[in-house]
Chains A and B, each alone.
Chain A
């Protein structure tokens, strides 16, 4: 089968196209493009079927496991694909590791080292019990996230653009420092003992629930980044589409009830809004995929992310 590779402006990406087996898969095509161009690793390639000019539809993206024949529309000896470079990619595991490492390291620095001397606070620092528990809670949280990244999550895509490393690290590391600064401050004012216990207790319960959600999500997918979507079922997923985000938000609420910093609450609100955007997209996607037609199951009525609001 002859495959012509063109750019989005219609030009030939490289002369002569490629010659592949009739039974070749998209993954084979990606390998061939990589061999030919030497620069574009398969994870950077976005291959689509060319659209009719003026068509308002979204282009069909070629999926790596499928056979090229499935896209050639009956014409088995020639196929044209449109190439887009997604830029340098890193694996999701790399991205998440660096994002989460920042908070894990930065927070203890504010706790253990005389950082506040540089802000003009001389003299001895009294450390309240809640501040010590907050340190353990925070570090456990990010340690858990790193462990889940390597041992639990099955990712929908194998990679993410390199620019996301800088953007995401800026987000996590800056907020980490912003919260750590106030939570470990020499002039920190603790809440009541009861409030602290309620906060941390609730937070721990939510973290455990969150972990269980991650286990359930993992079992919906195969391990090698081939994606695919299933209707999540079991535990809180029967009620909320993105129960994993729900438990994550409530876990931060627990932390904030116990530590009571404005910076912690700001972080929680920002994180919740980011997750809400993701949740709406996921909920919509699942409803679209599982429309009840042609033998497909119908996506059940569920909250999106935060009952009773959304």
Chain B
């Protein structure tokens, strides 16, 4: 019984990882194609559907961590996925004025390369039991460049959206109301920008530590 369950788990995770891999592959392909043929202003329109699907599906990973299907602690995956969903739904999708910005291109290219490597790494590991060492190297090395480029793009896009947040009053709750509550979306966005200040170096040094652990372990094996 336990054997059958673990096989089922492997099949599910293999399908999951390769499906999402395909989604991000589409994002990268369409982004580069549109960039070359039409220019950065049109990149968002081309990749919107696969981006929304591939990124939103990542909430399943929180579920996977909670039920113990995967080992990753949710304290690491939750902030990562939340910030991604915030940028995709809370900034790009909500404020169309940001969609023609050139940072959208740098954002989706950084994200999609990272995710293609990550999901193929896990997809191979689940399917075959282990991943080739070059893939392991990619997984723990490309972040060195792609995290800074991705984070810069995220910060830039949130910042460019601020005037549109203020003007549109979208997602805002104002006083007076019976629950004596207010919410100003642009202030919350500024708070998020503030969190990036300690959050990004923390995340980056965490990844550096993971890199050291993973690459030295594979050397010894």
Contact = CB atoms under 8 A, between A and B. Distances in A.
A189 B177 contact: yes
B38 interface: no
Interface in A170-222: 182-183, 185, 187-189
Nearest to B178: A189
A189 B179 CA distance: 8
A144 B125 CA distance: 59
Contacts of A263: 180-181
A183 B180 CA distance: 8
Interface string A273-300: 0000000000000000000000000000
A187 B179 CA distance: 11
Specify the main secondary structure of chain B where it touches its partner.
loop
Contacts of A183: 180
Specify the main secondary structure of chain A where it touches its partner.
loop
B176 A262 contact: no
B2 interface: no
Contacts of A188: 175-176, 180
A48 to B, nearest CB: 28
A179 to B, nearest CB: 10
Contact of B176 (A189, A259, A260, A261): A189
Interface in B51-100: none
Q: How large is the interface on A (under 10, 10 to 19, 20 to 34, 35 or more residues)?
A: 10 to 19
Contacts of A260: 178-180
Q: How large is the interface on B (under 10, 10 to 19, 20 to 34, 35 or more residues)?
A: under 10
B181 A182 contact: yes
A261 B178 CA distance: 8
Contact of A185 (B178, B179, B180): B180
B130 interface: no
Nearest to A188: B180
B163 to A, nearest CB: 18
Contacts of B178: 189, 260
Contacts of B182: 182
A259 B180 CA distance: 9
Nearest to B179: A262
Contacts of A187: 175-176
B181 A262 contact: yes
A148 to B, nearest CB: 29
B63 to A, nearest CB: 22
Contacts of B176: 187-189
Interface in B161-195: 175-182
Contacts of B181: 182, 261-263
B61 to A, nearest CB: 24
A260 B179 CA distance: 6
Contacts of A189: 176-178, 180
A205 to B, nearest CB: 24
Nearest to B177: A189
Interface string A255-279: 0000111110000000000000000
Interface of B: 175-182
27 contacts: A182-B180, A182-B181, A182-B182, A183-B180, A185-B175, A185-B180, A187-B175, A187-B176, A188-B175, A188-B176, A188-B180, A189-B176, A189-B177, A189-B178, A189-B180, A259-B180, A260-B178, A260-B179, A260-B180, A261-B179, A261-B180, A261-B181, A262-B179, A262-B180, A262-B181, A263-B180, A263-B181
Closest CB pairs A-B (n = 5): A262-B181, A187-B175, A187-B176, A261-B180, A182-B180
Interface of A: 182-183, 185, 187-189, 259-263
Given A185-B175, A189-B177, A189-B178, 4 more contacts: A182-B180, A182-B182, A260-B179, A260-B180
